[in-house]
A and B are shown apart, each in its own frame.
Chain A
Amino acid sequence: MLEKKHEMIRKLAREFAEAELAPRAAEVDETGVYSDEALALIRKSKFHAVTIPRKYGGCGGDYRSAAIVMEEFSRKCANSATPLMPNSLSGAPLMYFGNEQQKQKYLRGMAEGTMTGAFGITEPGAGSDTAAIATTADKDGDYYILNGRKCFITNGPICDFITVFAKTDVNARGVSGISAFIVESGWEGFSRGKIEDKLGIRGSKTCDIIMENVRVPKENLLGREGDGFKICMATLDSGRITIASQGLGIAQGALDEAIKYTKERIQFGKPISKLQNTQFEIAEMSTKVECGRLLVYQAAWMKDMGQNITTKAAMAKYYCGDLCNDIAYRSLQLHGGYGFMKDYPIERMYRDARIVSIYEGTSEIQKVVIAGNILGK
């Protein structure tokens, strides 16, 4: 499933994460500010543009590579997943459905590090229920007028553009009236809400996006009117692999900490790693992490081979989203009281893990997808 070049990418990503991300992770979490230096280095090695085609300034790489980078980064600093967004969430709508002009402008912008993108589907009234979005896009000559509010948007406070899903046909049944637009943050009527105060991934900035009569030129429609839901689902499908990989990375990082701590901590005259409970815990945790790893890389491999990955990717995302929470909980428990203190990295990992089973499709939605494909409608 993995080739020699993937091993080299892992080596690079691992060394990079240890040298550049791990030392800054605590500060990023505390201040809520991601390091500009780290971001510049990430872009220099093109970690953020693995899957973007060469034609648009990317590496032209595969999803196994993107998953490896995400896993190694998340193992040291979950916040470092956000700079990698062009590989999936912010890049996929353009890579799969953008026309040449849109790709040359926005995809290349992200690849070259001059633009930051975002993905705008979620609304106060529409989380898992995507079809319930209320943002409208009314055709007006060569423009669409967008009105609405998106919430919980990663990169919202800093994005140069955002892929917005809006209803071009409010009377259409279900999801068929939804279209996708590339909306630039500099346009009149575009405003950002306050930066959210989150439990975890505090180094990743999130806010509402408000659009009041934003005039979007028709050139910025992605695909055709009515393609919105298809674009959204295709993007989330590929995003599932990278987010599952984030969960995997966080789980591995939490496991690393547990192994390290239990070997050092002496109680009852010996390291607690000598106690059978600890040993069984570590055995169980390690096995589960391996399961998560196999799901992630199998899904990534299948996608690279051009196979349909909807079910497998949903399995990987659901499993790893729950996995990182489970492993972080158990690791913190093994740390005892010290695990509750910010002096140790596990408490940050525990908080960072919490979002993975929720965003980019909750574990529950993933189960709906899996069951739907196995049981049929």
Chain B
Amino acid sequence: MKILVCAKQVPNTNEVKIDPVKGTLIREGVESILNPDDANALEAALTIKDHIEGTTVTVISMGPPQAKEMLNECLAMGADNAVLLSDRAFGGADTWATSNTIAAALRKIGDYDIIFAGRQAIDGDTAQVGPQIAERLDIPQITYVQDIKIDGRKVVVQRQLEDGYEVIEAQLPVMLTCIKELNNPRYMTVEGIYDAYASEIPVWGLADLPLDETKVGLKASPTKVFRSFTPAPKGKGVVWKGSPKELTGKLWEELKEKHII
């Protein structure tokens, strides 16, 4: 099996710093980690590699040069190859531009059976890139994957719903986006770390991909971030108890007082 995994290096904090001009993330000076859902994606790929002989796992990431550290971590967990998509032109991309860039790289690698991605990144929280890539590659996609079974040239997957799950079958190649319930990502091995740092991770820039420079990065992003901010706390709500008649009467008075009605 040829498996590709899309991974992102993200800041390890809830307190993300926003650039006031561009409305994008300031990544410098903040500890970076492998996005948690992507670790589940990689683990899913490695589990298949454990069981199906001849499987290769390649991790692809779009990010700044420092993202190589995250890719080394993926290699040290057991991935066979890693590729970093990095270019000044790719910077400031929204999900549209990101998925365009990554899809071009996946097309270039080609011949994949399964593409894994995390459900969403903890910095952007959009959960859009995986599905967008699938659309661009014209392959089926299943998101919120909490269980996978491989059956020849098809997968049988449990997709998490709010109140349960559905079972979906799809032919390969397929895009699967993973959630934390899917598995427990394995630890790196010391040997894996040594091997990762003994090799160079290839970096593909704009020139290495069949991409138009107008279709990548900040300028190609249809989503313009107007403002990012932490909302001011609203204060605690109030809980009322009583009979339905009492409560309705009280609610009516309260709404009148606040000039809502």
Contact = CB atoms under 8 A, between A and B. Distances in A.
Q: Please say whether chains A and B are actual partners in one complex.
A: yes
Interface in A52-103: 54, 58-61, 65, 69
Given A4-B197, A5-B197, A8-B197, A41 B187 contact: yes
Contacts, number: 51
Interface string B50-91: 000000000000000000010011001000000000000000
Interface stretch (A42-50, A202-210, A302-310, A361-369): A42-50
Interface in B179-203: 186-191, 193-194, 196-197
A61 B189 contact: no
A12 B197 contact: no
A59 B194 contact: yes
Given A8-B73, A8-B76, A8-B197, A46 B190 contact: yes
A226 to B, nearest CB: 36
Nearest to B198: A5
A234 interface: no
A3 B72 CA distance: 14
B229 to A, nearest CB: 30
A358 interface: no
A50 B189 contact: no
A45 B187 contact: yes
Interface in A1-33: 3-5, 8-9, 12, 15-16
A283 to B, nearest CB: 26
Contacts of B72: 8
Contacts of B186: 44
A334 B257 CA distance: 57
Contacts of A65: 190
A24 to B, nearest CB: 16
B197 A45 contact: no
B189 A46 contact: yes
A65 B197 CA distance: 13
B187 A61 contact: no
A69 B76 CA distance: 16
Contacts of B194: 5, 59-61
Given A9-B190, A61-B194, 18 more contacts: A8-B72, A8-B76, A8-B188, A8-B193, A8-B196, A8-B197, A12-B188, A12-B190, A12-B193, A16-B187, A44-B186, A44-B189, A45-B187, A45-B190, A50-B190, A61-B190, A65-B190, A69-B190
